[in-house]
Amino acid sequence: MSAHAFRFAGASALALALALPASIFAVTPACAADAADTAVAAAADADAGVATTAVADGFLLAAEGPGRGSDAVAHRSDTPAAPDAPSQRWAFHVQSTFFDQYHPAFHSPYRGAESLDPGARGNETYDGTLYAGVSLWKGMELWANPELDQGFGLSNTFGVAGFPSGEAYKVGYNHLYYRLQRLFIRQTIDLDGERQVVDPDLNQLGGSHTANKIVITAGKISVPDIFDGNSYAHDPRNDFLNWSILETGSFDYAADAWGYTPGVAVEWYQGPWVLRSGFMDMSTVPNSTRYDPKYDQFQFIEELERDWSVKGRSGKVRVTAFDSRGRMASYKDAIAYAEATGGPPQLAPVRRYANRPGVSVSFEQQLTDNLGAFVRTGTNDGSKEAFEFTDINRTLAAGLSLSGAAWGRKDDVVGLAGVVNVLSRDGQRYLNDGGLGILVGDGTLPHPADEKDLEAYYKLRLTKALAVSADYQLSVDPAYNKDRGPVSIFGARLHVAM
């Protein structure tokens, strides 16, 4: 058995040991009088291959179905609710995920400080999260997400702009460490329209709300919890893992090095439309472990969503725009600094207060009862350094997600997606002169090219709480470098959620 196999087996046992005892907390109070109706609805949902809930002795047990989103929750439901549908008062959920990734040696005539290691290499990550929520008053929820993390991304999360592991942070440690990743409140204000069921979920209490409503979220969150959502590619613990497939690669959203930041977001649901606005704190300096305590550096986000249904098959489009305000450098100024000093380009000495806008479009459509498709594309200001996410100025991603119902395993999912990421000419010149980005920097870039990434995964649902996945990715011209690669990347994921 290989070292990676040993690590996977050991971490699998660790994930189960940490997650299974917590199952006694993975319950949410409900009214036992509604048990029969809820069980019928759950069975119907299960036949359709969607996320379901089951009732046992007056408690709702959260379960996952294919096509789940991330830790973010959906505030819209098409299921009508009785006027007196019970609301949860509190909830605990837990998740535990282990991910092991490996690539064999690949062609590389040279390497830099932020290159993907050309030798055979493997790394693993582990995280365990508690989702604790309570209702403070009607429509108001308080949620806390304490988390344990351990491990590293491949080459310490360097070397590919569309990085291949959404489970890897930009900060890694050999030992387990604790962070409070989220702490936020959410107020839902019912307006009018049909009352709809809200299923219990991660960071969401069960109950009911009107179809038209206003939702206000404030506190420490992750921007993709609310913006740039996608039903088929949004959750590295359950579906795709490549950063630029999970999210729009050009969406340089505000975040610390772990992907979280304080902020406030307002959502207005009206018929098939949703309008979202956000004000988010940014890091003290680009790609920092600390966010700005004075909010001198911040980001505005606006998103418009339009939902539809054709013959019972849902679809939606989202247009997302952002504008970052902070101390950032232009690539041309960094290159000029290098020419004046005789050294490599440097970003820090030439940073000044400026703005950096971007826009993206996301489309998704259910094609058949079991097959869904999505497309994402976006662009941002390529004259300046990336501030928070990754070194991508333009991107185009597309993919398919297929439920295993076609072969008698309705809770399994297979996914296939590809993405093309583009760096601006100013960015290419900066890297060629020896500059370093957030994730990429081979020391030189004499033959720049667009980065092309392909990903395929199969998620095997073993029990309601346990799933394992096999993942394969191919990166062609990683870090925009035609001289290096291509590189094949193999992954195995174990996920427990209750």
Average per-residue pLDDT in the chain? 87
Phi, then psi, of 395 in degrees rounded to 5:
-150, 150
Which pair of structure tokens corresponds to residue 407?
A: 């072969």
Predicted TM-score of the model (pTM):
0.84
- Whether 150 contacts 173, CB under 8 Å: yes
Question: pLDDT tens digit string along 393-433?
Answer: 999 999 999 999 989 999 999 999 999 999 999 999 999 99
Whole-angstrom Cα distance, residue 484 to residue 471? Answer: 22
| Burial class of 498 by CB neighbour count within 10 A (0 to 12, 13 to 18, 19+) | buried
Q: Which two tokens stand for residue 283?
A: 């890091």
For 185, the token pair is 């409140």
Q: Is 312 exposed, middle or buried (0-12, 13-18, 19+ CB in 10 A)?
A: exposed
pLDDT at 101: 97
Which pLDDT tens digit goes with each residue over 319-340? Answer: 999 999 999 999 999 999 999 9
Q: pLDDT digit of tens for each residue in the chain (498 aa)? A: 444 444 444 444 444 444 443 333 334 343 333 333 333 333 334 333 333 333 332 333 333 333 334 565 545 555 665 555 678 899 999 999 999 999 999 999 999 999 999 999 999 999 999 999 999 999 999 999 999 999 999 999 999 999 999 999 988 899 999 999 999 999 999 999 999 999 999 999 999 999 999 999 999 999 999 999 999 999 999 999 999 999 999 999 999 999 999 999 999 999 999 999 999 999 999 888 888 888 999 999 999 999 999 999 999 999 999 999 999 999 999 999 999 999 899 999 999 999 999 999 999 999 999 999 999 999 999 999 999 999 999 999 999 999 999 899 999 999 999 999 999 999 999 999 999 999 999 999 999 999 999 999 999 999 999 999 999 999 999 999 999 999 999 999 999 998
Work out the number of other CB atoms within 10 angstroms of the CB of residue 296.
13
CB 92 within 8 A of CB 129: no
- What confidence score (pLDDT) does residue 172 get? 87
The SS3 assignment for 49 reads coil
Distance CA 250, CA 95 (A): 29
User: What structural domains does the chain harbor?
Assistant: 3-497 (2.40.160.10)
Report the SS3 class of residue 271. Answer: coil
DSSP string, 378-428: EEE-TTB---SS-S-SEEEEEEEEEEGGGGT-TT-EEEEEEEEEE--HHHH
What are the DSSP E strand ranges found in 104-157? 121-137, 140-151
